[in-house]
C-alpha cells in the first residue's frame, strides 16, 4: 500500500498530474459555483429589495461580486498547484556536535 501511495504522489508531481489536479479543482469549483450562485442571486435580490433598490440590480451586483471572489480563489488554487514545492532539509533539533559536547 505504501508503494502505491508513493506512485500516486510521484504522478501528482509530474506536469500531467498537476494538470489532473487542476481539472479536478476546476470541476469541483464550477459545480459548487453553479449551485451557490442561485442562492447568492436570491439573497442579493432580497437584500436590495429591503433597501428599496430593484431586485434585478441586487441579483446582478451579488452575482458579480460572488463571481469575482470565486475567480480570485480559483486562480490562487491553480497557482498553488503549479508552484514548485520547497524541499527543505530536515534539521535535527540537537546537532551532533552539541551531543558530543554534552557527553564530554
Rounded CA separation 75/84 (Å): 16
Tell me the whole-structure pTM to 2 decimals.
Answer: 0.62
Asked if pLDDT for residue 51 goes beyond 50, the answer is: yes
User: Residue 62: exposed, middle, or buried by beta-carbon count in 10 A (0-12, 13-18, 19+)?
Assistant: buried
**Percentage of the chain surpassing pLDDT 90?**
34
- Confidence category of residue 95, pLDDT binned at 50, 70, 90: low
Rounded CA separation 75/101 (Å): 51
Asked if pLDDT for residue 88 goes beyond 60, the answer is: no
- Confidence category of residue 90, pLDDT binned at 50, 70, 90: very low
Mean pLDDT of 20-37: 87
Could you state, in order of their start, the residue ranges of all structural domains in the chain?
A: 2-84
Amino acid at each position: 500500500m505504501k508503494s502505491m501511495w508513493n506512485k500516486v504522489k510521484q504522478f501528482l508531481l509530474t506536469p500531467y498530474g498537476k494538470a489532473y489536479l487542476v481539472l479536478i479543482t476546476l470541476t469541483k469549483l464550477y459545480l459548487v459555483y453553479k449551485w451557490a450562485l442561485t442562492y447568492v442571486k436570491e439573497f442579493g435580490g432580497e437584500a436590495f429589495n429591503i433597501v428599496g433598490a430593484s431586485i434585478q440590480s441586487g441579483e446582478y451586483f451579488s452575482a458579480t461580486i460572488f463571481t469575482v471572489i470565486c475567480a480570485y480563489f480559483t486562480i490562487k488554487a491553480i497557482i498553488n498547484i503549479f508552484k514548485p514545492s520547497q524541499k527543505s532539509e530536515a534539521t535535527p533539533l540537537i546537532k551532533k556536535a552539541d551531543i558530543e559536547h554534552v557527553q564530554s
